[in-house]
Amino acid sequence: MRKTENQLLVIFGASGDLTARKLVPALYKLYKDKHLPEHFAVLGVARSFMTDEEFRKRVALESKYLDDSEEFIAAFSEKLFYEDLHKKYDVDYRELNERIQDLNTTYQCDNNIIFYLSTPPSLFEAIAKNLTAKGLNDERLGWKRLIVEKPFGYSLETAKSLNEGLHRYFKESQIYRIDHYLGKETVQNILVTRFANSIFEPLWNRDYIHHVEITNAESGGVESRGGYYDKSGALRDMFQSHLLQLVALIVMEPPLSANPEEIRNEKMKALKSLRLMTDPKVLEKNTIRGQYLASEIEGEKVKGYREEVDVDPDSTTETYAAVKFYVDNWRWADVPFYVRTAKRMPTKVTEVVIHFKSPHHQIFKNSDMNKDNKLIIRIQPDEGILVKFGVKVPGQGFAVERGNLDFYYESLGDESHIMEAYERLLLDAMQGDATLYARADEVEAAWRFTDPILDHWKKGDAKIYGYSAGVWGPQHADELIEGKSMWRNPCENLADDAGYCVIE
């Protein structure tokens, strides 16, 4: 177990939603579970004026996200401070530096500082520059780390320029790009499933795997994020970041060790091995985009995407994206990968499905493709793993059905507390463990793969299909999948079979 050294956490954008809803609650959990170092303080920074007391009230004392006795929360809130930047982030940080030095001395933070940039990304470089002007990137007396929030760019070009901007002031080893998906226990468990189990690893290749399917489905629409989402879309919002990170964990070769750099090197190689699609015909055949239309779900009227607040009424932004692609390396040659992400689906679920090939020689003739062995890794909501395998139907003959072997994280009980993603990731950064943070080259490799799809869709001759809110996407979605297979339209409960599930 790594040690958590004394430190100061400085959060830029501390007046925002993320600080109140995720960051402070995660720090509070760490405090409750005694993971914070002996000497620790948090300094919130933003343009808005607030006193320390007002900040504490807003994010802790009156927060609906913290639960415990008032005294306990009050004791935690004493670690929180606030400094305003007057009007903007791009100013001389003299006053801010004085406050940081003062807190560092008073609370014995040993000159170790994390700067968490929870602001729009357009401000990242200016903040890094102004910190550097005050020597706050200098690690001679104590380490300095920079955590940056997604989105990491809007395209390959903007991601490169964001990375270059940060690299002018901070070394890559000081930069932690947070992707909260990687903080989920089941996502990390992909590595353990693959590399700590001799029953899976020998099968993890083109000889035994027929295809790989990843579904990320949201039952909600864009809600209050219409303005942001309309400029982003499903591919940028989910696919380029979270879902390609999942793909990298499925595709990567075994790392030499569990060392962060070894793991990230292999993830990087995996992302580089995704076959780029640039030919418009290939892109048209292998990608599907859609947008949800108004419909009625369980008697309730649901708005179409174009009627949502802050969405352009003529918008062609996709709320459904499905991509078929191949991985050009020895392990995965000719194995299709199908990845989809969408809003207004029948249920909220994220899962990876490894579809195994049929046995080479079929003795029991009644089995079909849909009944092949599957390994399902459920990322959310009921985190767990399910193996579907053939069992004999009782009675005469050899009729085969699929039985389930399942494991749920919640079955481990209360004593094995599953950390929330932000809690886990913050603690990792506090301990200098970058395993679950995206490196600059990984982010750029993911954009290199995604850019041509976005360019193709932008040209306008690529079709955009409508689908009724509450169904599994456009009708054509199944055509993407080769042969007799279809998407596994998953249920809310991991072990339910499609067709028999209760959807929200």
Q: Which residues have CB under 8 Å from 95's CB, separation 6+? A: 83
- HEC string of 296-335? EECCEEECCHHHCCCCCCCCCCCCEEEEEECECCCCCCCC
Distance CA 16, CA 181 (A): 21
Determine whether 356 is exposed, middle or buried from the number of CB atoms within 10 Å of its CB (0-12, 13-18, 19+): middle
Binding flags for ligand NDP, 237-276, as an x/- string (CB under 6 A): ----------------------------------------
* Plot region of 386 (φ>0 → left; ψ -120 to 50 → alpha; else → beta): beta
Tokens encoding 434? 């970058």
Residue (11 or 41) nearer to ligand NDP, CB: 11
Q: Is 180 annotated as a binding residue?
A: yes
Distance CA 294, CA 314 (A): 14
Q: Is 267 annotated as a binding residue?
A: no
18 scored as a contact of ligand NDP (CB under 6 A): yes
119 scored as a contact of ligand NDP (CB under 6 A): yes
Q: Which residues have CB under 8 Å from 431's CB, separation 6+? A: 2, 3, 4
Distance CA 103, CA 431 (A): 20
Whether omega for the bond prior to residue 359 falls within 30 degrees of 0, making it cis, is no
Q: Is 218 annotated as a binding residue?
A: yes
118 scored as a contact of ligand NDP (CB under 6 A): yes
362 scored as a contact of ligand NDP (CB under 6 A): no
Residue (20 or 342) nearer to ligand NDP, CB: 20
- Find the binder of ligand NDP among 25, 44, 121, 432 (CB under 6 A): 121
Closest CA to 374 of 387, 391, 357, 360: 387
> H/E element holding 148?
strand 144-148
Segment near ligand NDP (CB under 6 A), from 12-20, 154-162, 405-413, 423-431? Answer: 12-20
Residue (128 or 385) nearer to ligand NDP, CB: 128
46 scored as a contact of ligand NDP (CB under 6 A): yes
Residue carrying the six token digits 């080259």 = 441
Shortest separation between residue 108's beta carbon and ligand NDP, angstroms = 29
Q: What is the CA radius of gyration of the chain?
A: 24
Segment near ligand NDP (CB under 6 A), from 16-24, 168-176, 196-204, 462-470? Answer: 16-24
Residues 84-113 that bind ligand NDP (CB under 6 A): 89
Residue (44 or 304) nearer to ligand NDP, CB: 44
Residues 130-169 that bind ligand NDP (CB under 6 A): 149-150
Q: Is 237 annotated as a binding residue?
A: yes
Say if residues 145 and 10 touch (Cβ distance below 8 Å). no
Shortest separation between residue 182's beta carbon and ligand NDP, angstroms = 13
Q: Which residues have CB under 8 Å from 34's CB, separation 6+? A: none
Shortest separation between residue 439's beta carbon and ligand NDP, angstroms = 18
- Considering the candidates 35, 39, 210, 242, report the single residue annotated as catalytic: 242
Q: Is 210 a catalytic residue?
A: no
16 scored as a contact of ligand NDP (CB under 6 A): yes
Q: Is 47 annotated as a binding residue?
A: yes
Residue (85 or 214) nearer to ligand NDP, CB: 85
- Find the binder of ligand NDP among 8, 13, 336, 491 (CB under 6 A): 13
Say if residues 454 and 279 touch (Cβ distance below 8 Å). no
120 scored as a contact of ligand NDP (CB under 6 A): yes
Q: Which residues bind ligand NDP (CB under 6 A)?
A: 13, 15-19, 46-48, 89, 118-121, 123, 149-150
User: Could you list the active site residues?
Assistant: 242
